[in-house]
Amino acid sequence: MRYASFLQDLAASGSTAWAVHSEAMARHRRGEDVIILSVGDPDFTTPPPIADAAVDALRSGQTKYSAAGGVAGLRKAIAQTESKRLGLEISPDEVTVTAGAQNALYMTMRCLLDPDDAVILLSPPYVMFEGVVRAAGGTPILAPLDADRGFALDPDAVAAAITPKTRAILLNSPHNPSGAIANRAAVERLAALCVAHDLWLISDEVYADLCFERSFYSPRRAPGVGDRCVVIRSLSKSHAMSGWRIGWAVGPAAFAGHARNLLNNIQYGGSAFLQAGAEAALTGDGADTACMKEAYRRRRDLLVEGLASAPGLRALKPEAGIFALADTSETSWSGESFSWALLNEAGVSVLPGGAFGPVLQDRVRISLCQPDAVLAEACARIVHFLSRHAGQAA
359-379 pLDDT tens trace: 999 999 999 999 999 999 999
Q: What is the mean pLDDT of residues 82-103?
A: 97
Helices and strands per DSSP (H, E), number in the chain? 13, 13
Mean pLDDT of the chain: 94
User: Residue 18: which pLDDT band, with cuts at 50, 70 and 90?
Assistant: confident
Taking the C-alpha atoms of residue 139 and residue 167, their distance in angstroms, rounded to an integer, is 10
Q: Answer yes or no: do 162 and 218 share one domain.
A: yes
Q: What is the mean pLDDT of residues 280-294?
A: 92
Do 213 and 256 lie in a common domain?
yes
311 and 194 inside one domain: no
Please report whether residue 51 resides in a domain: no
Residue 30 domain-assigned (yes or no) = yes
Q: What is the DSSP letter of 218?
A: -
Q: Residue 14: is its pLDDT beyond 60?
A: no
Show contacts of 137-143: CB within 8 Å, 24+ apart.
137/110, 137/113, 138/109, 138/113, 138/167, 139/165, 141/166, 142/357
Determine, yes or no, domain membership for 55. no
Domain that holds residue 363: 6-45+288-389
- Name the residue among 179, 222, 180, 174 with its Cα closest to residue 201: 222
pLDDT tens for residues 124-148? 999 899 999 999 999 999 999 999 9
Residues 146 and 26 in one domain: no
CATH number assigned to the domain comprising residue 10 = 3.90.1150.10
Question: Does 53 map to a domain?
Answer: no
Asked whether residue 394 is assigned to any structural domain, the reply reads no
Domain membership of residue 356 (yes or no) is yes
CATH of the domain at 243: 3.40.640.10
Please give the pLDDT value at position 11: 63
**E strands along 330-388, which residues?**
348-349, 351-352, 363-367
Q: Do 276 and 373 have their domain in common?
A: no
Residues 245 and 105 in one domain: yes
In a shared domain, residues 154 and 279: yes
- Same-domain check for residues 250 and 324: no
Residue 271 falls within a domain, yes or no? yes
Domain end position, chosen among 283, 304, 333: 283
Cα within 13 Å of Cα(145), Cβ side: 31
Q: Are residues 232 and 113 in the same domain?
A: yes
- What is the three-class DSSP state of 140? strand
Verify that 141 and 74 share a domain, yes or no. yes
Within this chain, do residues 182 and 236 fall inside the same structural domain, yes or no? yes
pLDDT of residue 237: 94
Q: Measured between alpha carbons, how far is 29 from 26 in angstroms, rounded to an integer? A: 5
pLDDT above 90 covers a percentage of the chain that reads: 90
- Decide which of 236, 254, 283 is a domain's last residue: 283
1 domain-assigned? no
Percent of residues in the chain assigned helix, strand, coil, to nearest 5? 50, 15, 35
Query: With bands split at pLDDT 50, 70 and 90, how would you rate the model's confidence at 334?
Result: very high
Domain count, the chain: 2
Half-sphere exposure of 207 (CA within 13 A, CB side): 28
Domain end call among 283, 303, 322? 283
**Section 385-390 average pLDDT:** 92
The pLDDT assigned to 393 comes to 44
Share of the chain above pLDDT 70, in %: 97
8 A C-beta contact, residue 35 and residue 381: yes
Of 203-207, 249-253, 300-304, 351-355, the poorest mean pLDDT is in 351-355
- Residues 209 and 263 both lie in one domain: yes
Q: Could you tell me which of 221, 273, 215, 272 has the C-alpha nearest to residue 250?
A: 221
pLDDT value of position 8:
76
